[in-house]
Amino acid sequence: MVGVLIRMKLAVQRNSMSGPRAAQMVFGGVVGLALAGAVVLLAGQDYPVASLRLDLLGAALALWTAGWLVGPALFGGGDETLRPEHFALQAMSPRALTAGLAAASFIGVAPAVTLVALAGLVVVATGLGATVVAVVAVVLQLVLTVIASRLVTAALGQVMRSRTGAALAALVSATVLAALHSGWVLSPLAGTALDTGFPSVVGTWVRALPSGWGLSAVEAAAHGDWPLVAAALAGLAALGAGCLYGWTVLIQRRLTTRRAGGRPARATADRWVRGPVTAVAARELRTYTRDLQRFHFVCFALAYALVFCLLPLVAGATVFLPWTGLLFAVWITAISANLYGDDGTELWGKIMIPGAIRRDVRGRQLGWFLVAAPPTVVLTVGLVVVSGHHEAWPWLAALIPAVLGGGAGITVLVSVLRPVPLGDPHRRGGNLLDNGTDFAQVLLMLILTAAGAAPAFLAAWQGPIWAGPVVGVAGGAAMAWLLGRIAAARLLSTAPDLLLRFRSGTRPARRRPAIALTRHPGLPHRPQPDPGLRRLGLDLAPAGLRAYVIASLTLCWVPLVAQGAIPAIMLSTGEINRSWFLALHLPGSLQWPAIITMVVIGLVLLTTGLGIGLHYLVRSRRSVAWRDPSEHLRCRQATDPTAGPNARRE
């Protein structure tokens, strides 16, 4: 059975290696190989302190293992090429199925790249005995890393069926992501450690973690401490076997039980409900506590803001504390733009009730505001008082109303213009990892949120002290009202098309002449593009432009925010922490020109990447009718039940 499952995975990968998927796999392999090569290079360098090489390798392997463990929580689901449900009806025991799936887990780019990274253990080995121990440790460490990753993924799939599990998973993913984004503040400490060596407690911890047991075995072999070598290798083998057994138990539970996600609905009395709009808002508030996915998103935004702004305290920097509430508001906006996609075909009821769409949009805006505003205000007021940075009040009074008001409008507008169908809530599985995040939508929301807050930022920067709050409040209220009105009008005109998309997962084609809707029999059939690239609008873009769009929209935040906006705020408030900010290391006369240059570079990357992406998005939408002429007929059948399979196209 092990050989059969390995051949099945190889066949699936071989048949799927075409077009964008192949490019994505190659790109990921190149990046992973570069990172693995960096780990090996780190292990081969000479350092002023003898113990530093082993400490750095242990820290690198700990980070690499952490990536395997929490990566599925960040990016959704892990490797599900072969799902256990596919073999539920086969005559095999859970133990045999787990053994086959475990063996198949080592087939792929990621395990091969990890093997290269673990080769750093062989590089640091000295002597024949230590080299042999290093080779054995590499194999055991690879087995433990891969199997532990599958166990954690399966455990999260079970745990995230409850609100407690959803909150814990959000805490883990937000901590990792925020640490990656704000870890640069620790660069001075890292520079000092490279000169004087890590503290002894750090070296002890990197060897005590399971990711460092192989390193401990290699180091012990170099000193002739063979009992410690045997204990470390036996620990790796025993822990790997324990992870395999735990995975077997979870697979058996996955195949034999099914738990409903969420919290059971109970009759509640909302005394503040006085009309249709407040009734929708009350429903939204209950949804944020009962729907696991929305609850997970709120916990993620809160945990991310706290970790991002509290982590610099390790380096003694308190300048980020006043901005915790604002960061929470930005992230709760970015991950709340799929309100109608979350509800699925429940949109049918709004189509049938006259006037329900406008009230529903306004009620969703009010419900989102009631969820986002209180934590934002409490975090802002509390941490400004604790940190003592009262000079940030003019900025906060300008930006918070702009972000909250703009978020109330942008969330409903993007939910209508670019929803992501997830299926009806009662038909979804309880595992939140199966409902992956649409990062293109999150990126779009971050861009729109920044654009909506830009007038208030400029007013607070250039105008008198009262200009920023006035522009922020007025602009936020105007965006909430105007964008909500546009979203209601758009939803009213496109509700049947959205309903079709939520039912079938396909986007209906636009009406075209019959000659455009019919493909000539002699023309070759054009395969469907990758759905992920089609959502990004890049399915028709050349490979070079596609890479530029992804790279520019990913990297534009470094010069725009990290090297532009943050140094500008520091110079404006007088709280200067040079760290890695390029402009702050220059003479005083060159600091503002450098900041402006960085902002311009970031804006160029942002506008060009967004412009090219939108251009190909329009082209992709216009070519839908050529790719699938039957979509127009399906749209008619969804909106007109009398239209049969032989209905004539108009």
Q: In b/e form, how buried is each residue of 453-486, taking b as 16+ CB within 10 angstroms?
A: bebbbebbeeeeeebbbbbbbbbbbebbeebbeb
Please check whether residues 240 and 341 belong to one and the same domain.
no
d(CA 141, CA 155): 21
The whole-number pLDDT of residue 397 equals: 92
Please check whether residues 246 and 281 belong to one and the same domain.
no
d(CA 336, CA 328): 12
For residue 52, tell me if it sits in a domain.
Answer: yes
Q: Could you read off the pLDDT of 139-191 as tens digits, one per residue? A: 999 998 888 888 887 777 666 666 776 777 777 777 777 777 766 656 665 66
d(CA 330, CA 178): 14
Band (pLDDT 50/70/90 cuts) for residue 403 is very high
Give the closest residue to 185 by CA, choosing from 64, 55, 310: 310
> Are the beta carbons of 261 and 429 closer than 8 angstroms?
yes
- Segment 485-492 mean pLDDT: 88
193 three-state secondary structure: helix
What would the two tokens of residue 127 be? Answer: 């002597």
Class of residue 355 by CB neighbours under 10 A (exposed 0-12, middle 13-18, buried 19+): exposed
* Contacting residues for 170 by C-beta, under 8 A, at least 6 apart: 296, 297, 299, 300, 303
Residues in the chain: 650
581 three-state secondary structure: coil
**Last residue of some domain: 226, 256, 286?**
256
Class of residue 33 by CB neighbours under 10 A (exposed 0-12, middle 13-18, buried 19+): middle
Please check whether residues 406 and 312 belong to one and the same domain.
yes
- Segment 35-62 mean pLDDT: 81
Q: What is the pTM of this model?
A: 0.60
**For residue 537, which amino acid is it?**
G
Cα 588 to its chain centre, rounded Å, is: 38
Please check whether residues 221 and 88 belong to one and the same domain.
yes
Please check whether residues 222 and 283 belong to one and the same domain.
no
Lowest mean pLDDT among 161-170, 189-198, 269-278, 422-431: 422-431
What is the per-residue DSSP string for 23-68?
HHHHHHHHHHHHHHHHHHHHHH---SSTTHHHHHHHHHHHHHHHHH
Please check whether residues 228 and 320 belong to one and the same domain.
no
Q: Please determine, for residue 270, whether its predicted confidence score (pLDDT) is greater than 70.
A: no
Band (pLDDT 50/70/90 cuts) for residue 517 is very low
- Segment 202-224 mean pLDDT: 85
For residue 619, tell me if it sits in a domain.
Answer: no
Q: Three-class SS string for 252-299? A: HHHHHCCCCCCCCCCCCCCCCCCCHHHHHHHHHHHHHHHCHHHHHHHH
**CB atoms < 10 A from the CB of 385, how many?**
12
Please check whether residues 178 and 76 belong to one and the same domain.
yes
What would the two tokens of residue 298 be? Answer: 């709120």
For residue 627, tell me if it sits in a domain.
Answer: no
Band (pLDDT 50/70/90 cuts) for residue 79 is low
Q: Provide the CB-side half-sphere exposure for 283 (13 A, CA).
A: 15
**For residue 525, which amino acid is it?**
H
d(CA 247, CA 102): 9
Highest mean pLDDT among 145-149, 416-420, 426-430, 634-638: 145-149
Angle between helices 94-105 and 128-159 (to 10 degrees): 120
For residue 533, tell me if it sits in a domain.
Answer: no
Give the closest residue to 497 by CA, choosing from 485, 484, 511: 511
For residue 535, tell me if it sits in a domain.
Answer: no
Share of the chain above pLDDT 70, in %: 74
> Are the beta carbons of 166 and 288 closer than 8 angstroms?
no
Q: Could you read off the pLDDT of 436-476 as tens digits, one per residue? A: 556 777 888 888 888 888 889 888 888 788 888 999 999 99
d(CA 378, CA 270): 24
Please check whether residues 251 and 276 belong to one and the same domain.
no
Give the closest residue to 498 by CA, choosing from 425, 413, 424, 419: 419
Please check whether residues 116 and 83 belong to one and the same domain.
yes
User: Which one is predicted more confidently, 330 or 94?
Assistant: 330
- Segment 577-602 mean pLDDT: 80
- Segment 111-117 mean pLDDT: 87
Please check whether residues 327 and 250 belong to one and the same domain.
no
User: Which one is predicted more confidently, 188 or 134?
Assistant: 134
What is the per-residue DSSP string for 398-426?
HHHHHHHHHHHHHHHHHHHHS------GG
Q: Could you read off the pLDDT of 183-203 as tens digits, one per residue? A: 665 666 566 666 666 777 777
> Are the beta carbons of 169 and 71 closer than 8 angstroms?
no
Query: Domain range holding 191?
Result: 2-256
Q: Could you read off the pLDDT of 328-379 as tens digits, one per residue? A: 999 999 888 888 877 777 777 777 888 888 899 999 999 999 999 999 999 9
CA dihedral 58, 64, 68, 69 (to 10 degrees): 50
The whole-number pLDDT of residue 78 equals: 58
**Last residue of some domain: 423, 458, 481?**
481
> Are the beta carbons of 125 and 220 closer than 8 angstroms?
no
> Are the beta carbons of 643 and 563 closer than 8 angstroms?
no
**Last residue of some domain: 427, 451, 481?**
481
For residue 152, tell me if it sits in a domain.
Answer: yes
As for how many domains the chain has, the answer is 2
> Are the beta carbons of 591 and 644 closer than 8 angstroms?
no
Cα 85 to its chain centre, rounded Å, is: 26
Q: How far apart are the first and last CA of the chain?
A: 54
For residue 560, tell me if it sits in a domain.
Answer: no
d(CA 163, CA 289): 8
d(CA 582, CA 204): 35
For residue 250, tell me if it sits in a domain.
Answer: yes
Give the closest residue to 331 by CA, choosing from 284, 287, 371: 371
Please check whether residues 440 and 467 belong to one and the same domain.
yes
Please check whether residues 41 and 159 belong to one and the same domain.
yes
Q: Please determine, for residue 296, whether its predicted confidence score (pLDDT) is greater than 50.
A: yes
